[in-house]
Structure 1
Amino acid sequence: MPQPELLPEDVLHVILQHILHDHDHDVSPTPPHFYNVADWTEAATKSQKCPQRTRTLRSLMLTSRRLYALVKPLFYRDILVPQWNIEQGKHVTWTFYQCIARDPALRDLIHSAVLNTDHFRGYDLSSPVFAGRWQLAVYESPDERGSTPGELAALMETLFFKCANLRRLTVVEFNAWNALVDEDSETGFRFRPRTSPITHLTLAKCGAKERALTSLLAWPRALQTLHYDANQSAWAFHYDEEEDEEAEWTCAAFVRALAAQKSTLTELSLTRQTPDHERMFMGPRIDLSGFARLRVLRIFELFLVGVEPADQAWRGMPPNLEVLEVFYDDASYQGIRFFAGHPAEDRRFDEGAEHEGDGDGEEDVDLEEWWKWLWLRALLAEQGMGRFPALKTVRVYTTESEPESGYGRGRGQSMRLWKLPRCIRESARQAAVHVEVWLGADRSPGK
């Protein structure tokens, strides 16, 4: 039998694909729901477990020069750089910087990347960017924390936006306070908006303020999909509200920051971190009516409706929307509940009352007061009048398990599809929209 490295290249590629295939999991794992993507991503960047595929690739690269050349593009194609390596006691991201500094051509092999930038706190970039002499300074005090705008911008461009083939980028904990500067004499950096080839961007646990967020979102030349997970408390943390007009996170600030991608964005997911009820309050609803290219919107109810009348939420929706998914994330504290005002809530306190239904467990007469103020009814009504001609699917997710059962699902229960009452079924049929309501949604990574 010939030595493996002596085989024809096409045969070696077949062998590599077979070795790298996960034969124990032939069926791809179910991806997390959109409201759990950010938490799942953050957990992945903080995991200390190296995937088996990565270990296998590394072993193959060390076998021979020929295998190294064949495996190298696979090894760097999809990268996930964890935040910290406890065993080695160092930032893995810093090690990755050094690899790029030694061999800048590696950037052209990267097609997708996931990185945690929480420890971008202070870098001495007085030396040339690729001289391999960067010095990392980690500050313990929050008052000392933060690279200069020029240093941070140079890092962002070097690692993220100069990769010619990078299309998918996930950045965890991008918490910059200031705009990425136009030009920086210390690093020689010059900010060039709309130059990055990135088309799919995820910002998980993002606390960057409006100026920094605007700069970051202006970098891609034609962003198609964006998942923005707002860390509202980080946006406002360490700021004096009386001195800083950007102290509070608002939907309007996010929309302003996103303006550069209005003509290309087709899919938007807008979530927030799990509520800790500090600077995470509701405000005016979002207005995406100017985003004519937007087809898919996945959003939390407090951004879609906010403090304004729910039956007016449709006014802020994109005109060419095809798919809408809405998540109710905080039933217990802020009263963000799909069934708020539902007559079944009153029945819990009136066990002796008799109610006549229509065979589906609901009474349409009772439901009228609840249904008429719901954003979903108004949306379907506007769709029936041709306001949203492309709308085909609406999915609602709520942590509630039943209208009668309070705020959360019972132990051991799983998410399930709710049987829609007649009033919703009829409205959906008249609007020609497929409607689903899922109960017992779980706000946990991987769910």
Structure 2
Amino acid sequence: MTTFKDSSAPGIGEASSHKLNLAEIFEALVGGNLSIRITAYDGSAAGPVDAPYGLNLKTPRGTTYLVTAPGDLGLARAYVAGDLELVGAHPGDPYEALRALAGDLEFHRPSPLTLAHVARSLGLEHFKPIAPPPQEAVPRWRRFAEGLRHSKTRDAEAIHYHYDVSNTFYEWVLGPSMTYTCAVYPELEATLEAAQENKYRLIYDKLRLKPGDRLLDIGCGWGGMVRYAARRGVHVIGATLSAEQAEWAQKAIAEEGLSDLAEVRHSDYRDVRESNFDAVSSIGLTEHIGVHNYPAYFTFAREKLRVGGMLLNHCITRPDNARKNKAGSFIDRYVFPDGELTGSGKIISKLQDIGGMEVVHEENFRDHYALTLRDWNKNLVEHWDEAVDEVGEGTARLWGLYMAGCRIGFERNIIQLHHVLATKLDPKGGSDLPLRPWWDA
């Protein structure tokens, strides 16, 4: 158990009666080996004076957020509300500061005496919970008014929370492709637009699509895959639970003259009645449906396919199959309410277990998602003033924080991104696929 008796900060030892200032408290909680500079509204400071990045606690409200929700949730509340500042970083892309901070935020487990010392120094008023920033979703236990987790009603509300922010805001962050999923970079120097186009090309080729085929794109977003396939003569139905996405996509389809081939519906994918598709693509949907729903989800996809049809599942995953499925507090309350992640092995096994489908290929695009997030943060910085005018500074700060933090997660193998490709077998277990992969990687 850590006691902090060897800390360089004065008065942190358990036996001391010295009242800790805010910087000393932070130093106590992280063990006293800071690489960033900590400053606070009480005038205290800790860490290297010449550190390129720092953390500035600006208000007592920020202290209350940090104390009442230790960890990433409290940090997010204080940062989104403007009570905590990442010094040396643009709020649209705080990646470098977060990476430096992440090296310090390996919190020790203080002893009860140390915690009591911290509590006496802070004062009891900071331990009384206060209202979070307005950008925060209600906790899971309060969402039952919207239905059971992953019911149609509650899924629709979760998608509305994240995706119906502002199409204009998304245009600035995502760029012309309006694609909010991992790109596939043909080389490190590729632009975001080239990488997104390459991603759609790769999925199109993996699915063995050709002019005249029929594609169902579930969770289609703003219709990037829908329009890519339709431009090549494929008949496509896309489904999204976001009304703003559907409206934007239908307008884009009409403007490109693709209305005779493509349609995006404001609909739960479970309400699509058509079947006998040549392919089903699911690009960034599985994260939202809940792991316990995988069997029903993959059964739905199988029943929509003709014999010999292809399924491509593109999904953020964990690096193993043993960790809990639920997202952490910050992601659940500020980014993807009710989101769940698991390992690629569990996705594959659930797909195999429904019967009638054969997994023929899978691959990991973890490094590509880090690059994608880098470019989204860059776009947000370039359009920062417009973004703040459109959605408010708190929401803009939230997006900068979320994307930069996720970039670190992909770089450190905390999360991954996998393609799983499968085909629907004939009743005797046969398929007509080539012996080796038929696409250009």
Asked whether the two chains share a fold, i.e. TM above 0.5, the reply is no
Q: TM-score band (shorter)?
A: under 0.3
Structure number with the bigger relative contact order (C-alpha 8 A, sep ≥ 6) is 2
